[in-house]
Amino acid sequence: MAKRCSLRGKSTMGQSILLGVSGGIAAYKSVDLVRRLRENNHTVRVIMTSAAQSFVTPLTFQAISGHPVGCDLLDAASEAAMDHISLARFADQIIIAPASADVIARLAQGMANDLLTAVCLATTAPIAIVPAMNHRMWHNPLTQANVARLQQFGYAVWGPDEGAQACGEYGLGRMLEPDAIVKHIENKNSVTPIHSKTIVITAGPTREPLDPVRFISNRSSGKMGYALAAAAAHSGAKVILISGPTALAPPKNVEFISIETAAQMYEAVMQQIPHCDIFIGAAAVADFRPTAVAPQKSSKNDFSNTLALTANPDIIHAVAQFKPKPLTIGFAAETHDVKLHAMRKWVDKGLDAIIANQVGLAEGGFDSDVNSVDLYSANGATHFPQQSKTELAYRLIGWISNYYDKQTKDSIKNIG
Ligand code: CTP
| CA angle centred on 296, ends 291 and 297, rounded to 5° | 90
| CA angle centred on 8, ends 35 and 409, rounded to 5° | 150
Ligand 1 pocket member 79 (CB < 6 A)? no
* End-to-end CA, the chain: 41
pLDDT (0 to 100) of residue 8: 34
pLDDT (0 to 100) of residue 190: 65
Q: Given the CA of residue 330, which atom of ligand 1 is nearest to it? A: 15
- Give yes or no: residues 159 and 202 share one domain: no
| 72 pLDDT higher than 80 | yes
Instruction: Determine the 3-state secondary structure of 211 from DSSP.
Output: coil
Q: Is pLDDT larger for residue 260 or for residue 384?
A: 260
| Of the candidate ranges 52-66, 74-88, 119-133, 282-296, the one whose mean pLDDT is the lowest | 74-88
| 78 pLDDT higher than 90 | no
- Give yes or no: residues 55 and 137 share one domain: yes
- Give yes or no: residues 204 and 123 share one domain: no
- Compute the average pLDDT of residues 1-29: 70
Among 138, 169, 189, where does a domain finish?
189
Ligand 1 pocket member 201 (CB < 6 A)? no
Residue 300 burial (CB count, 10 A) = 5
User: How much distance in Å is there from the Cα of 286 to the middle of ligand 1?
Assistant: 8
Among 189, 224, 259, where does a domain finish?
189
Q: Quick: pLDDT tens for 270-316.
A: 999 999 999 999 999 999 999 999 999 999 888 888 889 999 999 99
- Give yes or no: residues 263 and 220 share one domain: yes
Quote the CA–CA distance of 141 and 148 in Å, as a whole number: 10
Q: Quick: pLDDT tens for 115-136.
A: 999 999 998 888 999 999 999 9
User: How much distance in Å is there from the Cα of 259 to the middle of ligand 1?
Assistant: 17
pLDDT > 70 fraction of the chain, expressed in percent and rounded: 93
Instruction: Determine the 3-state secondary structure of 238 from DSSP.
Output: strand
Quote the CA–CA distance of 285 and 262 in Å, as a whole number: 6
Find the DSSP H helices in 82-217. 84-90, 101-108, 115-122, 135-139, 141-152, 178-189
Computed over every residue of the chain, the mean pLDDT equals 90
- Give yes or no: residues 229 and 146 share one domain: no
Q: Which helix (H) or strand (E) holds 97?
A: strand 93-99
| 191 pLDDT higher than 80 | no
Write the residue with the smallest CA distance to atom 19 of ligand 1. 284
**DSSP β-bridge partners for residue 129:** 96, 157
User: How much distance in Å is there from the Cα of 284 to the middle of ligand 1?
Assistant: 7
| 13 pLDDT higher than 60 | no
| CA angle centred on 160, ends 404 and 200, rounded to 5° | 30
Q: Is pLDDT larger for residue 236 or for residue 61?
A: 61
CATH number at residue 44: 3.40.50.1950
Residue 1 lies in a domain: no
Whether 249 and 152 have beta carbons less than 8 Å apart is answered as: yes
Ligand 1 pocket member 262 (CB < 6 A)? yes
Write out 267-335 in H/E/C secondary structure: HHHHHHHHHCCEEEECCECCCEEECCCCCCCCCHHHCCCCCCEEECCCHHHHHHCCCCCCEEEEEEEEC
The burial of 196, by beta-carbon neighbours within 10 Å (0-12 exposed, 13-18 middle, 19 or more buried), is given as exposed
Q: Is 406 left (phi over 0), alpha (psi -120 to 50) or beta?
A: alpha
Q: Given the CA of residue 317, which atom of ligand 1 is nearest to it? A: 7
Whether 286 and 262 have beta carbons less than 8 Å apart is answered as: yes
Ligand 1 pocket member 330 (CB < 6 A)? yes
Residue 4 lies in a domain: no
User: How much distance in Å is there from the Cα of 347 to the middle of ligand 1?
Assistant: 13
Identify the CA nearest to 330 among candidates 357, 351, 306: 351
CATH number at residue 234: 3.40.50.10300
pLDDT (0 to 100) of residue 1: 44
Provide the residue count of the chain: 416
Q: Which helix (H) or strand (E) holds 43?
A: strand 43-48
Ligand 1 pocket member 331 (CB < 6 A)? yes
Write the residue with the smallest CA distance to atom 21 of ligand 1. 332
User: How much distance in Å is there from the Cα of 398 to the middle of ligand 1?
Assistant: 24
Write the residue with the smallest CA distance to atom 8 of ligand 1. 314
Overall domain count for the chain: 2
Quote the CA–CA distance of 13 and 88 in Å, as a whole number: 19
pLDDT (0 to 100) of residue 390: 81
pLDDT (0 to 100) of residue 389: 85
DSSP 91: -
Q: Quick: pLDDT tens for 322-354.
A: 999 999 999 999 999 999 999 999 999 999 999
Quote the CA–CA distance of 277 and 120 in Å, as a whole number: 35
Indicate the angle between helix axes 178-189 and 389-415, nearest 10 degrees: 50
Among 160, 189, 218, where does a domain finish?
189
User: How much distance in Å is there from the Cα of 316 to the middle of ligand 1?
Assistant: 8
| 96 pLDDT higher than 60 | yes
- Compute the average pLDDT of residues 67-73: 93
Q: Which amino acid is at 364?
A: G
Identify the CA nearest to 117 among candidates 130, 99, 134, 144: 99
Q: Is pLDDT larger for residue 96 or for residue 299?
A: 96
- Give yes or no: residues 92 and 132 share one domain: yes
- Give yes or no: residues 385 and 340 share one domain: yes
Domain that holds residue 178: 16-189
pLDDT (0 to 100) of residue 11: 36
Residue whose CB lies within 8 A of the most ligand 1 atoms, among 208, 216, 220, 316, for a mutation test: 316
Find the DSSP H helices in 134-281. 135-139, 141-152, 178-189, 223-234, 262-272
For the annotated catalytic residues, the residue numbers are: 167
Residue 363 lies in a domain: yes
- Give yes or no: residues 258 and 335 share one domain: yes
Residue 300 lies in a domain: no
User: How much distance in Å is there from the Cα of 46 to the middle of ligand 1?
Assistant: 48
- Give yes or no: residues 341 and 288 share one domain: yes
Residue whose CB lies within 8 A of the most ligand 1 atoms, among 206, 270, 285, 334, for a mutation test: 285
Q: Is pLDDT larger for residue 353 or for residue 9?
A: 353
Residue 229 lies in a domain: yes
Residue 371 lies in a domain: yes
pLDDT (0 to 100) of residue 189: 64
- Compute the average pLDDT of residues 66-79: 86
Residue 7 lies in a domain: no
- Compute the average pLDDT of residues 49-57: 97
Write the residue with the smallest CA distance to atom 27 of ligand 1. 287
pLDDT (0 to 100) of residue 82: 79
- Give yes or no: residues 69 and 161 share one domain: yes
pLDDT (0 to 100) of residue 366: 67
- Give yes or no: residues 337 and 225 share one domain: yes
Residue 160 lies in a domain: yes
pLDDT (0 to 100) of residue 5: 36
| 153 pLDDT higher than 50 | yes
Quote the CA–CA distance of 254 and 128 in Å, as a whole number: 18
- Give yes or no: residues 233 and 367 share one domain: yes
